[in-house]
Amino acid sequence: MINVLSTSAMTRTTARRLTQLVSAALLAGACATSASAVTLSEWDIYNYPGQTEAVDDGIKEFSSQNPGITIQRSVHSFDDTRIPLKLALSGGDGPQIAQVNQGGGDMGSLVKDKLLQPLDSYAQQYGWTTRFPDSILKRNRWSDKLDFGSGKLYGVASLGEMVGLYYNKALLDKAGIAVPKTLSELESAMAKLKDQGVAPLMMGLLDGSMGQQVLGSVWQAQIDSGDRKKLDDLIYDIGGSFKDEKLIKAAGMMQAWNKKGYLFPGYQGIGKDDAATLFQNGQAAFLISGTWYLSQFKQNKDIHFAAMPAADGVAHPLGVGGTDLAFSVTSTAKTQEQRDAGAKFINYMVSDSMANRWLQVGFLPATASKNVTIPADNPLLGEAYQVWLALNQYDGLGHYTDWATPTMLAELNQGVQLLMADRLTPQQLATNLDDNYQRYLKTLKH
């Protein structure tokens, strides 16, 4: 005979036990979730409309893939990534993830004060050392003795940039000129264009940087990537001299172009952005400048992008370029969970998924991956990305010459202006640059 009361009591007891077990499991799960939940503050400088949208969308995707990690994004100006960032980190506040400007005054200073976390273990874990060539990663390396370009890795960048040759295909076709692949072919093309009454090369020298980027491009087009150590040593302040025969030759070529009338009339009084607009409007056949004009030039279907023509006999020339500010994990990421989460976020920012977002809004991703989709409505960006892939395949990303010292940018800008006004010889320009460099090297020894 079944005791109904006893069975009912057993049922209630079992139910209570099940409820207790379920509650305990839920509580344990909640505790586990709470223990693994990480909130990170992040600073970046992506304040252009297309950029900030891409990053916001990227953070949404990252958060959905990593529900235990919350990213609190804060957009800053470039200047806010410098002194304010250091002050915040020095005070024990500030973000756990931040974009940091490369160079001794910024990343080097933060490394010196132990305000950044080394990322070498994460570079191995996520394959950054195979995804990026040494020429890119070295820009974010500092040794314990604060040698720039060697030692531990302190950041990885999401966007790339480079200087190359823009050309107006309609003007070249009309003149019967093929896209030049060598400096000799470029000079021949400019001579032919001038004879036909077409301005060969657009230039804007008023505000400096375009002229020195042309100088750097012609100089580095003479250097094979297999023979880049001499230039690397200069830029990373290991030593050397700017009294370099290839630099002197580049300066001489620029002076010759001016004397032959290859440069757009009145270029000395034109700013770089005005020069770009003139080129966009079909006022010259060539422009040597950077990928930061890709978005602007997209509207003119006659404009194309190619690698800077190489010097005769140079198989794999260096191309002037670099990356944007690197993403770093800072000293305020005090726990292992925070550091791991920060590195995971950085890995997303250099992923193929983020690269596709950058391409969709017209920017060049730093990662040299073939697993991306070029927007169908932006063939100019596709051309630039192919150049970027080829350049990084043979470790050919060169340097902005002004990185060599804190005052080299002003020295270069003024020097090129005087060079093109025939007030400096190529040898004198090289000597002035070297004097600037040697003075700076002496300050590093004290």
pLDDT more than 90, % of the chain:
79
Tokens linked to 35: 């223990």
313-337: average pLDDT? 96
Q: Do 199 and 138 fall into the same domain? A: no
Cα separation of 371 and 192, whole Å?
A: 40
Residue range of the domain that includes 226:
162-321+397-444
Are 59 and 150 in a shared domain?
yes
Q: Pick from 365, 384, 419: which residue ends a domain? A: 365
The whole-angstrom separation of Cα 28 and Cα 45 is 40
Give the separation between CA 439 and CA 446, rounded to whole angstroms.
12
- Asked if residue 169 and residue 103 are part of one domain, the reply reads no
**376 within a domain of the structure (yes/no):** no
- Report whether pLDDT(4) > 60: no
301 and 332 belong to one structural domain? no
CB burial string 197-228: b at 16+ within 10 A, e below: ebbbbbbbbbebbbbbbbbbbbbbbbbbbeeb
Q: Pick the range with the lowest mean pLDDT from 47-61, 87-101, 246-260, 359-373.
A: 359-373
Q: Do both 347 and 292 map to the same domain?
A: no
Q: Is residue 23 part of a domain?
A: no
Confidence at residue 446, expressed as pLDDT on a 0 to 100 scale: 52
Task: Report pLDDT digits (tens) over 40-54.
Answer: 999 999 988 789 999
Co-location of 211 and 313 in the same domain: yes
| Sole residue written with tokens 């002037």 | 320
- The pLDDT-based confidence of 139 (bands split at 50, 70, 90) is very high
What pLDDT is attached to residue 1?
35
Neighbours of 412 (CB within 10 A): 25
279 lies in the same domain as 356: no
Q: Are residues 149 and 174 in the same domain?
A: no
Give the mean pLDDT of the chain: 90
pLDDT range class, residue 295, cuts 50, 70, 90: confident
- pLDDT interval class at 134 (50, 70, 90): confident
pTM over 0.85? The answer is no
Among 346, 365, 384, residue at a domain's last position: 365
- When pLDDT is averaged across residues 57-80 and rounded to a whole number, the result is 94
Sort residue 239 into left (φ over 0), alpha (ψ -120 to 50) or beta: left
Q: Is the pLDDT of residue 203 over 90?
A: yes
Tell me if 21 is assigned to some domain.
no
Provide the CATH number for the domain around residue 51: 3.40.190.10
Assign 3-state DSSP to the chain and report helix, strand, coil percentages, each to 5.
55, 15, 35
Number of H helices and E strands in the chain, helices first, is 19, 12
The number of folded domains in the chain is: 2
Asked if residue 262 lies in contact with residue 194, where contact means CB atoms within 8 angstroms, the answer is yes
Among 99-103, 276-280, 397-401, name the one with the lowest average pLDDT: 99-103
Same domain for 55 and 148, yes or no, is yes
391 found inside a domain: no
Q: Point out the least confidently predicted range of 26-35, 393-402, 404-413.
A: 26-35
